[in-house]
Amino acid sequence: MANLNLENLTAENAPKISKEILENTQKALGFIPNMYAKMAHNPALLDAYTYSYNSFRANSGFNSVEQEVVFLSVAYENNCEYCMAAHSFVGDMMTKVPVEVTNAIRDGKQIPDVKLAALSKLTRSLTANRGNVTQAEVDEFLAAGYTEIHILGIIAGIAVKTISNYSNHNTHPEVDAAFSSRVWKK
């Protein structure tokens, strides 16, 4: 596995576009996640990630719990330890995902909520199969109460998490102290 030897950047030493994103992140969260500090080396990467992340949150058609299910399911499928820890924490503390749902995704087990289980299942299949799923999988997802437009929302979520998962696989950011209670290994 590749290991890019990039230091964590700060707002003081990051390129201009990254500097602005890091400053805004510091104001919003009170800290700069290590993932952002690594991504900041390439402004196109950090800018694309934060823009698409914010757009997914605002425009995907999913509520905050469903959004976290998408993000966790992609991170699980892509085996991203950093994102699993971060989104488990976000689910617990911010988006209020029931812990039994988060833990089921983390453990690769059946989610107790039928609709969220269908969302996770299709998300994982779309991720694992590079967007190629069967009509039966789509029909099962639709039968759970979602629409075809939600499938496009899942694709947006997969794109967001693929950016961060692939970056993390190569830069290996240390899990931030804020997320350390939800460290994960597949």
pLDDT, tens only, 99-136: 999 999 999 999 999 999 999 999 999 999 999 999 99
Instruction: Inform me whether the pLDDT recorded for 137 exceeds 80.
Output: yes
Instruction: Inform me whether the pLDDT recorded for 1 exceeds 80.
Output: no
Give the dihedral sign, CA 61/163/173/117.
positive
Q: Tell me which amino acid residue 19 is.
A: K
Phi-psi region of 145 (alpha: psi -120 to 50; beta: other; left: phi over 0): left
Instruction: Inform me whether the pLDDT recorded for 44 exceeds 90.
Output: yes
Instruction: Inform me whether the pLDDT recorded for 30 exceeds 80.
Output: yes
**Can you tell me which residue has the tokens 């629409």?**
147
In the chain, where are the structural domains located? Answer: 63-182
Work out the mean pLDDT of the chain and round it to a whole number: 97
> How high is the pLDDT of residue 37?
98
Q: Looking at the domain covering 63-182, what would its CATH class be? A: mainly alpha
Of 146, 143, 129, 12, residue with least CA distance to 74: 129
Q: What is the pTM of this model?
A: 0.96
pLDDT, tens only, 52-104: 999 999 999 999 999 999 999 999 999 999 999 999 999 999 999 999 999 99
> How high is the pLDDT of residue 74?
98
Instruction: Inform me whether the pLDDT recorded for 8 exceeds 90.
Output: yes
Q: Check: CB of residue 101 under 8 Å from CB of residue 112.
A: yes
Q: Tell me which amino acid residue 80 is.
A: C
> How high is the pLDDT of residue 134?
98
> How high is the pLDDT of residue 174?
97
Instruction: Inform me whether the pLDDT recorded for 138 exceeds 80.
Output: yes
